[in-house]
Structure 1
Amino acid sequence: MSTSLPSIVFAHGLWADGSCYAKVIPLLRADGYEVLSAQNSLDSLEGDVAAVRRALGRVTSPAVLVGHSYGGTVITAAGADDRVAGLVYLAALAPDADETSQSLQDRFPTTDVFAHIEVAEGRIWLRASGIDCFAGDLPAEEQQVVWATQGVPDAGVFDQQVAGTAWRTKPSWYVVARDDRTVNPELQRFCAQRMGATTHELASSHVPMLSHPEEVADVIRAAAAAVGSSAAGVAAGG
């Protein structure tokens, strides 16, 4: 892969794994980007941030971090790493230093998806009845694959904190999912405005990388182009 381009490192959210970016990754690879999607355990925020930092150690150029949903909390902390040149948030949480994922959600609550969850053995499961709230603009068969392959988070992960608020110092982009029934679109707009992000809105459910992969790839390309010169300087030791 060309070192003149930044690398792209993905972080997924709840009820997902790294393959949730499977439609976007080939588009970026075709452009010559080095791409890696971290596999977060969803056991703890600290562990998920560490997983993204490990992924940063496996790519060869300074990276644009991309986080979806709770993955936005992950990249907010992991993005403080010097190997990160920019941040892209997809329908994502972006807590400040004194906030958690949960306290941020509480400011702009949504009841839709949370009426369809079940806590069992300390993990939060999405019931089959909730997939329409999560991925309602995907074809029915694709929705069922998303549900069947869900990553199941620890029940306490939303109340945890890890130091680092990368959006305060790194350039940021934000994709707002206007039809989201999992993370309130008003919360998304609040986060985007607070961080001063370059913002794009899509008529999307909570999973724009699956329902609008080309548009999401375009935002990531724009972010990579914007940080490319600074990323190349870091890679060269400048």
Structure 2
Amino acid sequence: MAAADVHNIVLVHGANVDGTTWRAVYDRLTARDFHVTIAQLPMTSVEDDVVAVQRNLDTQDGPVLLVGNSYGGVVITEAGNDPNVKGLVYVAAFQPDTGESASDLLASVSSAFSPDKLTIFDDGSYLINEDAFVSLVGNGLFAEDALFAARAQAGANTANMAHKIDAAAWRAKPSWAAIATEDHVIAPELQRRMAKRARATVVEIEGGHLLPMANPDEVAELIAQAAEEMN
């Protein structure tokens, strides 16, 4: 590995899944001698999720590259304001601006992912219906992996999608974006638009929404390049 100014990487998963979605990327990055930590989100609120990531940031020795997939992009956009975070990588992720929510972004560009694909419970949490998870979230995965992920879901608070960003960290820090060209949840057009306005360094990857699982080589390479490019 080339000498990197940023050695620490914190990975943040999306909604309704957990940190194991990053395992293949973790393996590739640690093989290149990066120090990699994976946050586990409670998904009870965006505020709680930011606190969970902050715990991981507080344990790092030195500057950090913060990486998010899917809803994890919302979380890193706020958590990334920590002064030790030197850059952000969005992997098939929401990249909201200040005052903007994931729901606002989804409403701006239509996709096949819609509210009727959810089961919402009395406490405000939701799960994605199994068929929709497999076909929309898990497209690009082996069928057995998509089904396992669908049946291993963790509930997420519906209010998380409506959370308005207080201050978008990417406005003050460099960002990178992996665009999933076959994404059925966050439309590729929307991913490109968010990355363009953030002036992010962009890589397009032929894959679905769970790029860290389906395309770990390309995702790990982008993260490694981002870490090595920062001064």
Partner of 1:193: 196
| CA deviation after TM superposition for structure 1 residue 108, in Å | 1.2
* Identity score, percent: 34
**In the alignment, which residue of structure 2 is the partner of 1:15?**
16
Following superposition, the deviation at residue 220 of structure 1 comes to 0.2
TM-score, normalized by length of structure 2?
0.94
Report the secondary structure of 1:156's partner residue: helix
Between the aligned partners of 2:114 and 2:226, the Cα distance in structure 1 is: 30
Q: Provide the residue aligned with 2:170 in structure 1.
A: 167
Name 1:46's counterpart in structure 2.
Answer: 47
**Cα-to-partner distance string for 1:146-198 (whole Å, 9 max, x where unaligned):** 11222221121111234221111111100000111011111100111010011
Unaligned runs of 5+ in 2: none
Structure 1 stretches lacking a partner, 5+ long: 231-238
Distance 1:189 1:15 in 2: 24
- Which residue matches 1:76? 77
Change in Cα spacing, 1:162 to 1:50, as seen in structure 2 (3 Å) is farther
Distance 2:111 2:5 in 1: 42
Specify the alignment match of 2:151 in structure 1. 148
1:103 aligns with 2:104: yes
Structure 1 distance, partners of 2:35, 2:76, is 18
1:60 partner SS: coil
1:14-65 deviation line (CA, Å, top 9, x unaligned): 1211111011001111111111111001100011111111110112121100
Q: Is the 8 A contact 2:65 2:87 kept in 1?
A: yes
Cα separation, 2, equivalents of 1:54 and 1:25: 19
Q: Which residue of 2 aligns with 1:236?
A: none
| Structure 2 partner of 1:61 | 62
Counterpart code for 1:108: V
Aligned residue-pair number: 227
Query: Structure 1 residues 179, 147: CA separation in 2 closer, same or farther (over 3 Å shift)?
Result: same
- Aligned partner of 1:6: which letter? H
| Distance in 1 between residues matched to 2:55 and 2:216, nearest whole Å | 25
Alignment equivalent of 2:186, drawn from 183, 187, 201 = 183
Structure 2 equivalent of residue 91 of structure 1: 92
* TM-score, with structure 1 as normaliser: 0.91
Q: Which residue of 1 aligns with 2:30?
A: 29
